[in-house]
A and B are shown apart, each in its own frame.
Chain A
Amino acid sequence: MKLFEYMGKELFAQYGVTVPKGRVVTSPEEAAKVAQEIGSTVVVKSQVLSGKRGKGGGIKFADNAEEARAAAEEILGMTVQGYKVETLLVEEKLQIDKELYLSITVDTSAKMPVIIASAEGGMEIEDVAEENIMKKHIDPLVGFSPYLGRETARRLGLTGPLAKEANKLMAGLVKMFKEKDAELVEINPLVISGDRLIAADSKVTIDDDALFRQKEAPVVEERTETEKKAHELGLAFVELGGDIAIMANGAGMAMGTLDTISYYGGSPANFLDAGGGTGMEETAQALELLLANKPKAVFINIFGGITRCDDVANAFLKVKQSREIPVPVVIRMVGTNEEEAIKLLSENGIEAYKVMHEAAQKVVELAKA
């Protein structure tokens, strides 16, 4: 789950990382009030889950309360990178001596958190030459050691009080990364302002799988309505815009199904991973979800491992008995409890396929008919 900039900064502040003076607002009046309180030039920043806000007109400067009000009026309600702006962050404008880059993320090949730092900040980290980027792993069994802070400071070219500041900042950030179950903590730019190091922006992503123990984490919704509903059912669902609704079990299988449908000239309406071990009730609701998007055909592709084919077959029959299914449905089912499933389906006049590409060809044909 991605956090808005202001939420990330609130976490930073909790962990001793300096952030600009400021507050989050939702109206021009509040923006004016905060600007008044700050009493110098402020920056009014749209709070959307996307970078490149400046280019989209989502960031403006204001020299006084009146200008802040006008800027807020202009930005609120506008669309930045596809996101509607509903909240703003009004902050002091920093005196910027230099911009740095700093982040912690999960290095999947090393299987450890990694600190990434560069003395060249304020731009996309991908645009910085590899040799100017420091990457230091943090062994999760060891945790933070102060030398990591010293090394980071050295690579950022910081000395004296700034180096000390960097040490403190790193210790806080590493602690936050772990305690908040973050997948990404990024400060770009990290600003040198006189003798202070200030996080001018924040990008924080919390691990969705850890939300059960992150009870205090804010709730940020990035999903469409249907995607949200699917999530509540414990399903991974992405809308894709085609006309063949797909239900498969397992992410790889679901992707393989999309590929096969596309290979035969069909167009998938969605990606739906019904997951491993999804029960009958969830499966039935997943089917309802697919039908709600009015596809031209439905393809159920199950290779049962932990998922039991008879559960899926029962769920399908339950939906079929409770409502009319207005489009053709092609079912392919093999694996755990396959025989029971096929028997159930055939008793109800439905023939299930065993071979994926044959079933895929059939559903593409039916969607085009």
Chain B
Amino acid sequence: MAIIIDENTQVAVQGMTGNQGRFHTKQMLAYGTKIVAGISPGKGGQEVEGVPVYDTMTAAAKDHRIDASVLFIPAPFAKDAAFEAIDAGAKVLVGVPEHIPVHDEMEIVNYAKSKGVVVVGPNSFGIVSSGKCKIGIPPNQFFTEGQVGVVARSGTLTYEIVGNLAMNGLGQSTVVGLGGDRAVGLSFVDVLKKFEQDPQTKAIVMVGEIGGNAEEQAAEFIKDNMSKPVVAYIAGKSAPPGKRMGHAGAIIERGKGTFDGKVAALQEVGVQVAALPFEVPGLLKKVL
């Protein structure tokens, strides 16, 4: 099993004929993802890597069953593309673009919620059910099937963690990128819930960072609801207070969302917290 997506998920790529769209379509196909259609307004009738391109999502959805859509669309147009995907019936929406305005993100997330659509991101590396389906941009070679569920706010840091797992022979069930922006579709809690119910997942790695209170909320949830072991890494221990570290989420303000606060909250509910990413596999091996 896997969560949210699996080997049967049929995927559309919005913005397929762009530079990133083409490159990552190829990578996703190489990973085994079932990409059935591309969408690029004005480019309908073309093919990219053997996949037909349509002008609109609705046209693509007429010819194909589309379960999920991934956006390779510049930020100013991401909201429109997201609405198009949701209206065309995609049940999972994966957003890759950076710098989507927060008001647009709030509209995407709330509209999706009203239609029962799962939003990964909307600024995220995507989601991988290892060995089955990859939707998004992570490098293919580290994602191998296994028992560890990974949920993270940061993209590259996830690759770092998954790379460390791979080096230690630990595969993953599903790896979910929540996204580091201010309004994201999925929370740690949403994903932990799904991992708890997924028979393939035996342990979970949470990759968090300073700022916000998502990790504290996760700790609260873990306390009463998780029977599976959780290991965490929190980035930003050495970040100076008050400085914005790229992600809007990663800002320490008014003593909230601090590294120490997050680590304490997680440790209190039995989560093992690694000091550095390379310690994660060791901690996992102890609990698996």
Contact = CB atoms under 8 A, between A and B. Distances in A.
A207 B180 contact: no
A3 interface: no
Interface in A241-275: 248-256, 258-263, 268, 271, 273, 275
A51 B109 CA distance: 33
Interface stretch (B62-70, B197-205, B244-252): B244-252
B214 interface: yes
Nearest to B236: A255
A108 to B, nearest CB: 5
Interface stretch (B4-12, B47-55, B271-279): B271-279
A178 B103 contact: yes
B100 A209 contact: yes
B235 A252 contact: yes
A291 interface: no
B66 to A, nearest CB: 23
Interface stretch (B87-95, B155-163, B221-229): B155-163
A304 B139 contact: yes
Nearest to A241: B240
Interface stretch (A55-63, A87-95, A109-117, A292-300): A109-117
Contacts of B76: 212-213
A111 B235 contact: no
Contact of A305 (B139, B210, B245): B139
A357 B103 contact: no
A179 to B, nearest CB: 9
B117 interface: no
Contact of A255 (B24, B217, B245): B245
Nearest to A273: B246
Interface in A311-345: 334-336, 338
A109 B276 CA distance: 27
A236 interface: yes
A248 B99 CA distance: 18
Interface string B105-122: 111011100100000000
A228 to B, nearest CB: 14
A101 to B, nearest CB: 15
Interface of A is mostly: mixed
A305 B123 CA distance: 14
Contacts of A207: 101-103
Contacts of A268: 238
Interface stretch (B34-42, B182-190, B262-270): B182-190
Interface residues of B, number: 66
B10 to A, nearest CB: 23
Given A109-B187, A140-B106, A305-B138, A256 B246 contact: no
B219 to A, nearest CB: 14
Contacts of A178: 103
B235 A259 contact: yes
Interface string A1-32: 00000000000000000000000000000000
B286 interface: no
B163 A255 contact: no
A352 to B, nearest CB: 14
B196 to A, nearest CB: 20
Contacts of A305: 125, 137-139, 155-156, 159
A197 interface: no
B243 interface: yes
A19 B139 CA distance: 54
Nearest to B126: A305
Contacts of B183: 106, 108, 111
A139 B246 contact: no
Contacts of B180: 251-252
Nearest to A238: B243
B213 to A, nearest CB: 7
Given A141-B107, A209-B75, A276-B98, A256 B155 contact: no
B159 A303 contact: yes
Nearest to A183: B102
B23 to A, nearest CB: 8
A282 to B, nearest CB: 13
A106 B236 contact: no
Contacts of B158: 252
A200 interface: no
A251 B160 contact: no
B56 interface: no
Contacts of A306: 20, 24, 96, 125, 137
B14 interface: no
A320 to B, nearest CB: 24
21 contacts: A109-B217, A141-B107, A210-B103, A238-B244, A238-B245, A251-B246, A252-B152, A252-B154, A253-B155, A254-B245, A255-B236, A256-B235, A259-B276, A261-B238, A263-B275, A276-B137, A303-B160, A334-B159, A355-B278, A356-B278, A357-B276
Interface of B: 20, 24, 27, 75-76, 96, 98-107, 109-111, 114, 125, 137-139, 152-160, 163, 167, 180, 182-184, 187, 207, 209-210, 212-214, 217, 233, 235-240, 243-247, 249-250, 254, 275-278
Interface of A: 106, 108-109, 111-113, 126, 139-141, 178, 181, 183, 207, 209-210, 212-213, 236, 238, 240, 248-256, 258-263, 268, 271, 273, 275-277, 303-306, 334-336, 338, 355-357
Given A251-B246, A253-B156, A335-B159, 10 more contacts: A109-B213, A109-B217, A112-B110, A249-B156, A250-B157, A251-B180, A252-B250, A255-B154, A261-B238, A356-B278
